[in-house]
Structure 1
Amino acid sequence: MTLCASLRSILAATGLLALSGCAAITAVSDAATPLDVYELRAPASIAASGGRVLARDVIVEIPTTSGALATDRIMIRPNALQAQYLPDVRWSEPTPVMVQTLMLRSIEATGAVRYVGRKPLGVSGDFALVTEVIDFQADVVPETDTANVQITFLVRIVRERDASIVASRSFRANAVAATTETDVIIDAFSAASDQVFVEFAQWVRDAL
C-alpha cells in the first residue's frame, strides 16, 4: 500500500475527510515520535582527475534556501503552492547542510584541488562556492500515487581576493518515484542526487 493510500485509510477510519492526491501527507509530526533518518552520499561514480592537483583552497559555504527547505524534514509537494513533509522521517542533516556536505565530498572525490572544506585553513581560501538551493523535494503527480523528485541549485565560484565571480551555473536533476512510499521516494532522491553531483564535480574541476 502506498503512503497516500495508507493515510487515506487512516483518515477514513477516524472519520476525517481524505483530500484528493497526496494532500493527506502530514506537515507536522508528533515531536515525541522518533523519526527514521535518511542520508544521501556523494556519488561513487565521480571520476578522479588523475592529473596534477591544483594549488587551490576551496571553501564550500553553507547554501541559502527558502524557509520551507531550511529543515531536516523531507519535503513533498501535493501541489505547486503547498509544502508538506513525509511523516516519521528526516534527513541526517538540515537540507542546506546536507547539500554542503554533498558538494564538499564530491569535490574531494575528484582529487583535483589541494584543499576543500567548510572553513579556510588560514585567513581565507582561494575560492568560495556560494550556493542557493531552489528545489529539493518530491512533487506529487496529480491524480496519481507517483512523484517526481526535483533537485535544483545555483552555484557561483567567487575568487576571494577580489570577490569576483569567476563562474556560475545552475544544476538540475529529477527522478521519478513510481509510488509515494517513503523508501521509493528516497531511492529517487538518491538517483537525482547522484546525477546532479557528478555534473557538479566535473564543472568545479574544469572551472578552477
Structure 2
Amino acid sequence: MITWQALRRAMGATALALLSGCAAISAVSDAATPLDVFELRAPGSIPALAGRARAQDVIVEMPTTSGALSTDRILIRPNPVQAQYLPDVRWSEPTPQMVQTLMLRSIEATGAVRYVGRTPLGASGDFAIVTEVIDFQAEVTPDGETANVQITLLVRVVRERDASIVATRSLTGSAVAPSTETLTVIDAFNAASDQVFAEFASWVQTAL
C-alpha cells in the first residue's frame, strides 16, 4: 500500500525535477541569445619616426591576463573586488586576442618594420612583443552615475636570438564615461584605447 507520506515525497520529487528542467531550458535560452558586438580599432594615423624604417621581423605574441579578462565579455567593476560584464554585449574577440590585434595594426600603421605578425615568416623573428593585460575594464564611480575606463598593459620587447629583454614599458590609458549606458562606456573604451596604442606604437619603434 502506498502511504500519503510516500505519495507526497514522490510528488515533491517530480516537482523538483520539473523545476530543474525549466531552469536548464532557461539557461540554454539565455546562452543562445545573440549579443551586440563591439570592436576597438587602432589609432588612425601613427607616423614612423624619421630614419627608423628597417628590415626587421616583429612577432606580437598572445597577451596574458587574469581570468576575468580571458573572455569576449566587456568587464565592468561595480567595486574594486567585484567583476561583472555589460549585459547583452561583447567584444568582437576575447580581450587578449583583441589587444594582440590592436598591437599588430598599430605597428603596421607606422610602416617602420619589414614584417609584423602573430607568427614568424621563418624559424623566428628578430623581436617579440610580450604583453600582460593588467586592466581592461570600466570602473563604476561611487555615485553609480559614471564610470572610469582603465587600460593598463605591461609590454616587453624581447630579442629572439638570445631571449633577452631589451625594453619594458607600462602603458596606461583612461577615459571617463559620463554615464553607464553601453554606448557611452564603449566610447570611453575607444578613447582610452587610442591613448594606449598610439603611445605603444611610438615607443616600440624606439625600443627595437
Q: TM-score category by the smaller chain? A: 0.7 to 0.9
1:55 CA drift (Å) = 1.3
- Please, which runs of 5 or more residues in structure 1 have no aligned partner? 1-28
Report the counterpart of residue 37 of structure 1 in structure 2: 37
Counterpart-to-counterpart distance in 2, 1:126 and 1:48? 19
Tell me the equivalent position of 1:186. Answer: 186
Mapping of 1:66-145 within 5 angstroms? 66-145=66-145
1:198 aligns with 2:172: no
TM-score normalised per structure 2: 0.84
Could you tell me which amino acid in structure 2 is paired with residue 195 of structure 1? Q
User: Any runs of at least 4 consecutive aligned residues in structure 1 with deviations exceeding 2 A, and if so which?
Assistant: 48-53
Task: List per-residue Cα deviations over 1:67-99 (Å, max 9, x = no partner).
Answer: 000000000000000000000000000000000
Provide, for residues 9-53 of structure 1, a one-character-per-residue CA deviation record: whole Å limited to 9, x for no partner: xxxxxxxxxxxxxxxxxxxx9212100000000001312345452
CA distance in structure 2 between the aligned counterparts of 1:124 and 1:88, rounded to whole angstroms: 41
8 Å contact kept, 1:38–1:90:
yes
The answer to whether the Cα contact below 8 Å between 1:37 and 1:91 also exists between their aligned partners in 2 is: yes
Structure 1 contact 49–111 (Cα < 8 Å) conserved? no
Give the paired residue count: 180
User: Which AA in structure 1 matches 2:160?
Assistant: E
**Aligned counterparts of 1:133 and 1:82: Cα–Cα separation in 2:** 18
Q: Deviations over 1:174-200 (max 9, x none)?
A: 000000000000000000000111000
Unaligned runs of 5+ in 2: 1-28
Give the corresponding residue for 2:174. Answer: 174
Cα RMSD after superposing both structures: 1.2
The DSSP-based 3-state class of the residue aligned with 2:121 is coil
Deviates more, 1:178-187 or 1:136-145: 136-145
Q: Does the 8 A contact of 2:45 with 2:109 survive in 1?
A: no
SS in 1 for 2:46: coil
Distance in 2, matches of 1:176 and 1:131, equals 25
SS in 2 for 1:90: strand
**TM-score normalised by the chain length of structure 1:** 0.84
2:10 corresponding residue in structure 1: none
Determine the C-alpha separation between the residues in 2 that align with 1:45 and 1:174. 20
SS at match of 1:31: helix
Q: What residue identity is the alignment partner of 2:98?
A: M
CA distance in 2, matches of 1:32, 1:55: 47
Identity level (%): 78
1:46-61 aligned at under 5 Å gives the runs 46-49=46-49, 51=51, 53-61=53-61
Report SS of the residue matched to 1:30. Answer: helix
Q: Distance in 1 between matches of 2:112 and 2:185?
A: 33
The Cα shift of 1:145 comes to: 1.3
1:160 counterpart = 2:160: yes
Cα distance in 1 between the residues matched to 2:52 and 2:205 = 11
